[in-house]
Structure 1
Amino acid sequence: MTILVCIPCLLTGGTEIQTLNLVQALVSGGHRVVTVCYFEYSEDMVARFRRLGSEVECFSPTGVRIDGWRGILFLYKGLRKALKRYKPDVAHVQYMAPGAIPILLLRLLGLRQVIATVHTVADIYSNLRLVHFIQRHCVRAFTCITELAEQSFFGNSQLYSETTLLKHHNHFTIYNALSPAFSILKKNRKFSSSSIMIGVVSRLDEIKGMDLVIPAFARVRAKYPDIRLIVVGDGSLRAHMQQQAQDLGCDDGIEWAGRQPQERLADWYSRMDIVLMPSRSEGFGLTAIEAMANGCVVVASRTGGLPEVVRDREVGLLHVPESIDDMADKIGSLVGDITLLQHYSEAAMMYVGKYGFERYSQLFNDLYKRLISVNR
C-alpha cells in the first residue's frame, strides 16, 4: 500500500528520529512510503529519509513556518496536491500538529484511513476535548508512545499487540524504539571508581533541564574529584552552561562535544557510565533507551514518560523534577557504590530489549495490515 507520513518539520529532534524508524519499518514491510514535511527542514534529514527508501516532499521551498489562516490554506493546498499525486491508502500524522489541522484537512479531503501518533504527554495540549473528538471521529488509530501518555489523554491505556481487539476507532500504546543503528551490548560493562564518566546527550535547552546539569555535577565533583562530564549536543543554553562551569570551578572536568550525528552516538555512549536526563517535559526519552542499550545507567527526572521508561531502582534512578540536590544525591549514590552501578547497568541491558526495532516494526506493520483488511 502507499502510506503518506505527515510531519511538521524534518530537523534533528526525537520525533524525527522515531519517524525515521516508522519509515524504515514500513518500507521493510513492502510499502511505498511518501513523507511530506509542512514547514522547517534540513537537507541532511531529508537525505536520511530518502536513503531509507521514502520519497520526500517539502511543502515550503524555503522551510519557513506559516501561521494563522494563511498557514491553514497553505496546508490544505499542499495536502490536496499530495493526495492527488500519490493516492495514498493511509496517512500517518506525526505529532498531531499544528493543532490537529492536518488530520481535519485530510478527512475533509476524503481520506478515510488516518493514523495519528502523539510524541508527548497531554500536558502540552490545552484542549483535550479536541483530542477526544479527533480520536472518536477522525482517525482509525490514535497511538501514544507510553502508557502514561495514553492515560494522560484518555484515562486508560493498553499496549498494542497482534491480539488487540480493533474497533472502528482505536487508541493504544506502541513504544518508541531503538534505531536499528543501535545494538544492545552483548557483554556487561565494567566500571572503576577512579574513572567515572557522567554524560549528557541532549539539546541544550531549558525544557531539557540543561541549566541544572552543571550545578549538580559541581556538587558531586566536590566529593568525588575524579569524575568527569561529557556534554554531547548544542542549543540555546550552551554559553550559559559553560559560564556556570567557570563560575563553579569545574570547567576543567568537562568535555564539550557539540552536536554529533546519530550514527556516532553509540561511540559517545560507550565513554559514559551515567547519563543524565533532568528534563522538565519528556514524552518518552529516546536518550534513555539509547543509553541503556550501551550499558549506561540513567539518572532522570520523574516527569512525562520517563518513569515508565526508566524503572526507578530497577534499571536506573529518578530524581525530583528541577531539584539539583536530589539529582546530585542520586548521581553520588552511584559514583560511591560501583556494585550498585554495575547492577543497574546489567539490569538495563536486559530490560531495554523490549524497545527493540524488530518488535516495533512487527507491531506497526501488523496494525496497518489489520486496519486495511477490516476496512475492505
Structure 2
Amino acid sequence: MKHIPMTILICIPCLLTGGTEIQTLNLVRALVTGGYRVVTVCYYEYAHAMVQRYREAGSTVELLSAGGSRKRGKEEWLHLFRGLRMCVKKYRPILAHVQYMAPGAAPCLILKGLGVRHIIATAHTDARIYRSLKLLRFLQRHVLNTFTCITLRAEGEFFGTSLLYTEETPLPRHAHLTIYNALPEHVEPRQTERVLSAAPTIGVVSRLEKIKGMDLILPAFAQLRVRIPDARLLVVGDGSLRKSMRRQAEELHVQDAVEWAGRQPQEKLAAFYDRLDLFWMPSRSEGFGLSALEAMARGCPVIASDAGGLPELVQDGVCGRLVPVEDAASLAEQSGQLLSSPSEWRRMSRSAQTRAMEFSTERFGRLMTNLYHKTLACLS
C-alpha cells in the first residue's frame, strides 16, 4: 500500500521578500525534509520569484487572490473563508500553521470552524503592534495547540512568561514558547576574520521606513563624521523615506560620503555586508532583526536599538552595542568609540561570527519538526 504523507497547511498573508516569508520558507524546507506534504496558502500579495522559491522547496502553493489584491470588512472574511475551505477540502491537512494571525485572527478562527483539529500560530512581531492582547490570549488558551514567538521578549510581552524551546521541552496543550529564527540561506557564515578599514564604511540594509529608524541614519552619520571624517555610509534598500533621506544628506553636507545602492537581490547581499565595518539597525520596532544576523554572519559588528528581539540577538558588548530607541546621538557616539578601538572591533567581529552560527537552518529545522512531531503525537 502506497504511503501518503501527512499534509501541513502553511497559511500566510503574503509571499513577498520580507523576513517572515524567508523564515516560513525555512520552515517549508524543514517539513519537506521531515517527510510532510506541505501546502502554502497565500491570501493576498505575492512576488512570482518568491512563489517559485516555495515551489522549488517542495511546497504546493495556493494563491487565493489572483491579482494579489486585499479585501475589507465582510468581503475579507468571505474571501478567507472560501479560500481556506477550498484548501481544507482539497488537501485535508492534519495540521495548519498560521504565520501571523492577521487579519484579526480570522484564519485561526476560520480553520477551527472548518474542522482543522491542530493549529499552530506564530507571531513574527513584538506585542506593541497589537491594540489589545485579549483576543490573542483567548486564541492561545482555547483555539491553538501551540503559539510560537520568535523572541523571548515578545513572548513575555504577550503572555507574561517565556520559554526557549528545545528538543527536550515538554509540550503541554495550549503551550506558548519561543523558537528563534534562522540565518537565511542567501548569506553564508564567513569563515575568515575581518580587518577594520582605515576609512570605515557604516551601512544599513533595510526598508527605508520610519519604523526601521531610517530617519535617524543621516543625522547620526553626520555626527560620526565630525569624529571620523573619512567615514562613509552605504544605504541598501528602498522605501517611502528615500527622498527625504537624500534631502537630509544634502542639508547635512554629507551627500558626497553616501552611496545609495537601492533594493538589491538577496543573493547579492553578502557582498554588501562584506563592505561594511559597522552595521546600523536603529529600529523603533523589530520582531527579530534578520538583517543584523546576516551582518553578524559576515563578521560585521552591529550597533542596534534596544527594541524588540535585537538585544537577544546582538548581545550588548559582545557582538556590538545597543543604544536607546530614537537616539541618533548615542548611535554616533557608540559607533565612534568602537571604530576608534581596532582591538575591540576585532573582538566583536569574531564574536558576531560565532554568535551567528548559533542560528543555523539545521537547528531551526530540528526544533520545528520536533515541535510538529510532539504536537501530532500527543493530540492524535
| TM-score of Structure 1 vs Structure 2, range by shorter chain | over 0.9
> How many angstroms apart in 1 are the aligned matches of 2:240 and 2:133?
31
Cα deviation for residue 315 of structure 1 reads: 1.2
1:233-291 C-alpha deviation (Å, 9 max, x unpaired): 11000111111111111111111111111111111111111000010100111111111
Q: How many corresponding residue pairs?
A: 375
Moved more, 175-184 or 151-160: 175-184
Q: What's 1:54 paired with?
A: 59
* Partner of residue 305 from structure 1, selected from 297, 306, 309: 309
1:209 aligns with 2:213: yes
Q: What's 1:116 paired with?
A: 121
Q: Which runs of 4 or more aligned residues in structure 1 lie more than 3 Å from their structure 2 counterparts after TM superposition?
A: none
Residue aligned with 1:81, SS: helix
Residue aligned with 2:365, SS: helix
Residue aligned with 1:184, SS: coil
Residue aligned with 1:34, SS: strand
> How many angstroms apart in 1 are the aligned matches of 2:35 and 2:229?
54
1:75 aligns with 2:80: yes
Moved more, 360-369 or 50-59: 50-59
Q: What's 1:133 paired with?
A: 138
Paired residue type of 1:16: E
1:91 aligns with 2:96: yes
> How many angstroms apart in 1 are the aligned matches of 2:268 and 2:36?
29
* Partner of residue 185 from structure 1, selected from 185, 190, 203: 190
> How many angstroms apart in 1 are the aligned matches of 2:375 and 2:332?
48
* Partner of residue 153 from structure 1, selected from 158, 164, 167: 158
Residue aligned with 1:171, SS: strand
* Root-mean-square deviation over aligned CA pairs: 1.0
Q: What's 2:338 paired with?
A: 334
Q: What's 1:13 paired with?
A: 18
Q: What's 2:277 paired with?
A: 273
Cα deviation for residue 215 of structure 1 reads: 1.0
Moved more, 111-120 or 305-314: 305-314
> How many angstroms apart in 1 are the aligned matches of 2:201 and 2:32?
38
Paired residue type of 2:261: A
Cα deviation for residue 312 of structure 1 reads: 0.7
1:118-173 C-alpha deviation (Å, 9 max, x unpaired): 00111111221111111111111100001111100011111111111111211100
> How many angstroms apart in 2 are the aligned matches of 1:303 and 1:206?
14
* Partner of residue 267 from structure 2, selected from 263, 266, 271: 263
Q: What's 1:22 paired with?
A: 27
Q: What's 1:365 paired with?
A: 369
Unaligned stretches of 5+ residues in structure 1 = none
Residue aligned with 1:12, SS: coil
> How many angstroms apart in 1 are the aligned matches of 2:203 and 2:37?
39
Cα deviation for residue 205 of structure 1 reads: 0.6
> How many angstroms apart in 2 are the aligned matches of 1:329 and 1:267?
27
Q: What's 2:3 paired with?
A: none
> How many angstroms apart in 2 are the aligned matches of 1:109 and 1:345?
51
Q: What's 1:219 paired with?
A: 223
Residue aligned with 2:230, SS: coil
Cα deviation for residue 102 of structure 1 reads: 0.3
Cα deviation for residue 191 of structure 1 reads: 1.3
Gap change, CA 1:12 and 1:180, over 3 Å in 2:
closer
Cα deviation for residue 26 of structure 1 reads: 1.3
1:100 aligns with 2:105: yes
1:284-318 C-alpha deviation (Å, 9 max, x unpaired): 11111111100001000111111111111111111
Moved more, 41-50 or 156-165: 41-50
> How many angstroms apart in 2 are the aligned matches of 1:115 and 1:96?
10
1:40 aligns with 2:45: yes
Cα deviation for residue 206 of structure 1 reads: 0.7
> How many angstroms apart in 2 are the aligned matches of 1:80 and 1:140?
20
Cα deviation for residue 195 of structure 1 reads: 2.2
> How many angstroms apart in 2 are the aligned matches of 1:259 and 1:129?
38
> How many angstroms apart in 2 are the aligned matches of 1:233 and 1:33?
32
Paired residue type of 1:129: K
| Aligned pairs for 1:287-306 within 5 A | 287-306=291-310
> How many angstroms apart in 1 are the aligned matches of 2:225 and 2:34?
49
> How many angstroms apart in 2 are the aligned matches of 1:75 and 1:59?
8
1:178-202 C-alpha deviation (Å, 9 max, x unpaired): 013332212211113x221111000
